[in-house]
């Protein structure tokens, strides 16, 4: 059976059909939770923000323009909720990173290629590595963290990210590149430091 499009489900929900909103919730629950968990770096806050976002979608369903795509609209609401949350708590990241390499002015990723990143990476327990990556992402500047999550983890196309953030497609591309380079600097600085120890 062919799955109904998000826009159709929202229209049916607006028309009063029972249960269709649950389908939308199930469809986006994983993605939204992952988005907030990475963006605000805190599970409890992510839980609240998912609820706030989907409630907002429900309350604003009547204002949704059916000629547009649902997903960018959903993530526009989510990004605004996330930014409001960060603003309310002074934009301080929830997780801190004690290791070196947080400085944007450090050596560039390409300049650090001489270090053997793979060896150090292998030394890390996989759970430790996951936790380290999460903390590094939480430490990134907000605008770079946001675009890395949307572009890499949410796998949204450039055009949809441009719509969500209200910036040109070219800027999305260059900013996503900057975000990956920024993370690389953090990661390679850490792995090189681990190798030299």
Partner 1 sequence: MSASQEHDFDPRLLDLHLGHLATAEQAELRRLIADDPALAAQDEALTAVFRALASAQEERVPDGLTARVTARVRSAGPPPRVVRPTDDLTETVEGTRERVIRLGNLRDIVAVAALIVLAIGVGVPGLMHMRERNLRMGCSWNLAQLGHGVQQYATTFNASLPFVGWGGQNSWQPSNDPRLVTIPNRRHIYLLLQQAYVVDPRLFVCPSQGGVPMPIDAIERHNDFIEGRNVSYAYQNMAGLRPSANDNPRLPILADENPLFDDGLPLFDARRLSWGEPAQANSRAHGGAGQNLLTLDGSVIWVKTPFSGIDGDNIWTLIDVTEYTGREGPASPTDSHLLK
Binding site for partner 1 (CB under 8 A): 13-14, 16, 21-22, 25-26, 29-30, 33-34, 37-38, 43, 47, 50-51, 54-55, 58-63, 104-105, 108-113, 117-118, 121, 126, 129-130, 133-134, 137, 141, 143-144, 151-153, 155, 158, 165-168, 171, 174-178, 180-184, 187-188, 191
Residue 60 or 100 having the CB closest to partner 1 = 60
Taking phi first (over 0 means left), then psi (-120 to 50 degrees means alpha), and beta for anything else, what does residue 101 get?
left
Cβ of residue 40: shortest distance to partner 1, in angstroms? 12
Query: Does the CA dihedral 151-7-57-45 come out positive or negative?
Result: negative
CA–CA separation, 106 and 101 (whole Å): 7
For partner 1, the closer of residues 37 and 81 by Cβ is 37
Instruction: Provide the residue count of the chain.
Output: 197
Min dist CB 90 to partner 1, Å, is 14
Closest to partner 1 by CB, 2 vs 59, is 59
Q: Closest separation between CB of residue 167 and partner 1, Å?
A: 4
DSSP 27-50: HHHHHHHHHHHHHH--HHHHHHHH
Shortest Cβ 193–partner 1 spacing (Å) = 14
CA distance 141 to 195: 26
What backbone phi and psi angles, to 5 degrees, belong to 64?
-70, 135
């Amino acid at each position: 059976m062919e799955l109904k499009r998000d826009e159709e489900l929202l229209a049916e929900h607006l028309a009063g059909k029972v249960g269709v909103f649950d389908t939308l919730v199930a469809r986006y629950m994983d993605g939204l939770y992952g988005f907030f968990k990475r963006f605000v770096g805190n599970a409890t806050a992510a839980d609240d923000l998912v609820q706030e976002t989907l409630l907002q979608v429900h309350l604003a369903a009547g204002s949704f323009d059916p000629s547009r795509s649902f997903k960018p609209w959903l993530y526009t609401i989510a990004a605004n909720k996330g930014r409001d949350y960060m603003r309310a708590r002074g934009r301080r990241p929830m997780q801190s990173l004690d290791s070196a390499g947080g400085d944007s002015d450090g050596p560039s990723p390409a300049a650090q290629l001489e270090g053997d990143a793979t060896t150090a990476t292998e030394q890390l327990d996989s759970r430790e590595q996951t936790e380290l990556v999460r903390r590094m992402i939480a430490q990134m500047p907000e605008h770079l963290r946001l675009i890395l999550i949307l572009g890499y983890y949410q796998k949204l196309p450039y055009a949809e990210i441009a719509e969500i953030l209200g910036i040109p497609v070219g800027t999305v591309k260059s900013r996503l590149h900057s975000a990956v380079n920024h993370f690389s600097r953090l990661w390679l600085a850490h792995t090189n430091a681990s190798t030299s120890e």
